Structure 1
């Protein structure tokens, strides 16, 4: 009898590895379906109520936990992208979600960050001004607005952050969650309060004295016990508007606020501190 053809060892090994991958894919799919079922029960839970499904703080906490245990050849940025898609799929199950983005064009930095964070299938509309993007959220046309990071030199009369109607609208997230080296970034504004992630930064707006300097504002905040990574100034007539980035998740009841020399102080929101990328 002729010999039975034998499968080459390399081909057999590849077939076994592919079978293992197929089994893992099935297991992952099973878990995704189970997760979606739990999200569906959460969406219908009376305990949850009818509020927004947006939970950027919890999402950040989940990503930090996963990144802390992650190892192997799969890049950290890939882990974040996979889970961002899972988060947005879960958000879609809980109700409609859309994005209003203030950007010069659909190819702009802010639009790219919004698509990467909220997913390519999430409805998004580009608006020509920050005011229009914020109005879309206020009027219920969009769930969140994505706006440029505040920058040194912003005019108080036109800077969106100087005119944000907090606490009705608040900053709830910073993009991207994985910090890069190019300085790109945007902020997310929503009609809901931010939720703490465990490692956060708060943005506060102060009206300081007419010729206040960055150094004097920073010193007053430090004297009150705040850790302040950055301060931006904008002149507004006889006053100086100061936008301070403060370590921690602050509330209006924070006792340290009473030590500040300025009467007008507004919490604009908070966001999860970014984590390092690959």
Structure 2
């Protein structure tokens, strides 16, 4: 004997409208959870800012931020592009820095990419002021008008007024970041350095900049050999010869700060660290 249950029709599948409403409801629940976590993160940041441990330290922690983003990039998967994830966290990190003491950015606008790089790195709500020269941008930081200067990467043979590294007032002002921190590839990529008061914090994978001065009779090969002999093999080396003196900008792996014994081993008239930065992440690596 056949029961009514055996002859009952299977339940009708949900309509397209019902399925869409269910998905939207799930998104709403996820948005609430995300919002709760963001608010909780802000509470923790506020506690950190008020703690005695922070003291009078700068709210800018580029090394710590790099460590956070590297960790998230390693665990990231799925359909959301890594660049979108980085942009989300850059806004969160910028807001956290602003909570601990608002800051502004002075940008030397040698080209149109510099303001964009500054806003993408330091947050869309961070005040960004355009400056006509690198010296004006650095002066704004030195006077406290801004807390960060964004400057173009140095180039071989650039005009003297654009070679900002020659007059950087280190260690009072130091390079603390290279922008952008993440990009899909390294080809034809506009980049910039960020300069701020005080020393940057290490990220675990860093590169340092050194300003060198020596007698003008030293050639490029001699400079490279002396750096390598001291354990400071440069990735790049820019040189300028003026008034019987050769000045060079060397980029080397690792953190090199004042007091590093390798600096004392260099046979130059002066070797001054200009700061260091977290090695950027590029999407075409590995």
The interval holding the TM-score normalised by the smaller chain is over 0.9
Query: Are 2:226 and 1:224 equivalent residues in the alignment?
Result: no
Q: Deviations over 1:127-153 (max 9, x none)?
A: 111111111111110011111110111
Partner Cα separation in structure 1 for residue 217 and residue 156 of structure 2? 16
Per the alignment, residue 145 of structure 1 pairs with: 149
Structure 1 residues 144-202: Cα deviation after superposition (integer angstroms, max 9, x where no partner): 11111101112456511000010011110110111432131111111121110000000
Measured in 2, the distance between the counterparts of 1:115 and 1:187 equals: 13
Aligned to 2:209: 203
Cα distance in structure 2, aligned partners of 1:122 and 1:235: 39
Instruction: From the superposition, tell whether residues 131 and 170 of structure 1 become closer, same or farther in structure 2 (CA, over 3 Å).
Output: same
2:123 is the alignment partner of 1:119: yes
Does residue 202 of structure 2 align to residue 174 of structure 1?
no
- Count of residues paired in the alignment: 272
Q: 1:163 aligns with which of 149, 163, 167?
A: 167
Q: Matched residues in 1 for 2:67 and 2:275: separation?
A: 17
Q: CA deviation at 1:115?
A: 1.2
Larger Rg: 2
Give the corresponding residue for 2:282.
Answer: 276
Secondary structure of the equivalent of 1:265? strand
Q: Secondary structure at the match of 2:171?
A: coil
TM-score under structure 1 length normalisation: 0.92
Query: Aligned partners of 1:253 and 1:53: how far apart in 2?
Result: 25
SS at 1:229's partner residue? strand
2: distance between equivalents of 1:157 and 1:10? 64
Match of 2:86 among 80, 101, 121: 80
User: 1:121 offset after TM fit, Å?
Assistant: 1.1
Asked if residue 193 in structure 1 is aligned to residue 199 in structure 2, the reply is yes
- SS for the counterpart of 1:49 is coil
153-162 vs 109-118, greater mean Cα deviation: 153-162
User: Which of 43, 46, 55 is residue 37 of structure 1 equivalent to?
Assistant: 43
CA RMSD of aligned residues (A): 1.8
**Secondary structure of 1:51's partner?**
coil
| Distance in 1 (alpha carbons) for counterparts of 2:166 and 2:188 | 25
TM-score relative to the length of structure 2? 0.90
CA–CA distance in structure 2, aligned partners of residues 264 and 156 of structure 1: 20
Give the 3-state SS of the residue equivalent to 1:54 in structure 2.
coil
SS in 2 for 1:195: coil
When residues 164 and 173 of structure 1 are mapped into structure 2, their CA distance, relative to the original with a 3 A threshold, is same
Shift of 1:227: 3.4
Q: Return the alpha-carbon distance in structure 2 between the equivalents of residues 178 and 277 of structure 1.
A: 7
Partner of 2:3: none
Q: Which runs of 5+ in 1 are unaligned?
A: 1-5
Structure 2: tracts of 5 or more residues without a match: 1-11
Shift of 1:76: 1.3
> Aligned to 2:220, which of 207, 214, 218?
214
- Runs of 4+ aligned structure 1 residues displaced above 6 Å come to none
